[in-house]
Amino acid sequence: MKVNKWFLPIAGIILLFGVIGLAQITGYWVTNQRAESSTSSVSTTPTSPADGSADITITGQTTLRQIIDATGIPLATLLAEAGLPADTDPEATLRSLKDLVPGFEPSSVRDAVARLTSR
């Protein structure tokens, strides 16, 4: 039996793109993390609708706007509690603030959120 010389290269290409497509469909191949909604840098789960408290995960990619939207903490209060200047851009990520504000550490925002949400 004679096989066409193009069969194996074409089959290999189809197999390669088939595996990539399947991995993307199942979520194992992500080329842009922001496009995937389940990997949000801030996730909230209200523990009680009455008190509005929430569990929040804050990473270096989290913006101040995401934190205040998720927790309901006023921006001015969060900035004061975290030791940030009042004119800080709410769209700035914690990682970028580390480079912009001398002595700033993202953990100070995490601690401030913990203190403010436990009240």
> What integer is the mean pLDDT of 54-62?
78
Asked if residue 18 has pLDDT above 80, the reply is yes
pLDDT at 16 (0 to 100): 96
pLDDT at 19 (0 to 100): 95
pLDDT at 24 (0 to 100): 87
Query: What does the block give as tokens for 98?
Result: 């580390």
pLDDT at 55 (0 to 100): 62
70, 44 contact by CB (below 8 A):
yes
116, 78 contact by CB (below 8 A):
yes
Asked if residue 45 has pLDDT above 50, the reply is no
24, 42 contact by CB (below 8 A):
no
Distance CA 101, CA 107 (A): 14
**55 bridge partner residues:** 45
> What integer is the mean pLDDT of 74-97?
91
Which among 83, 82, 89 has a CA at the least distance from the CA of 113? 82
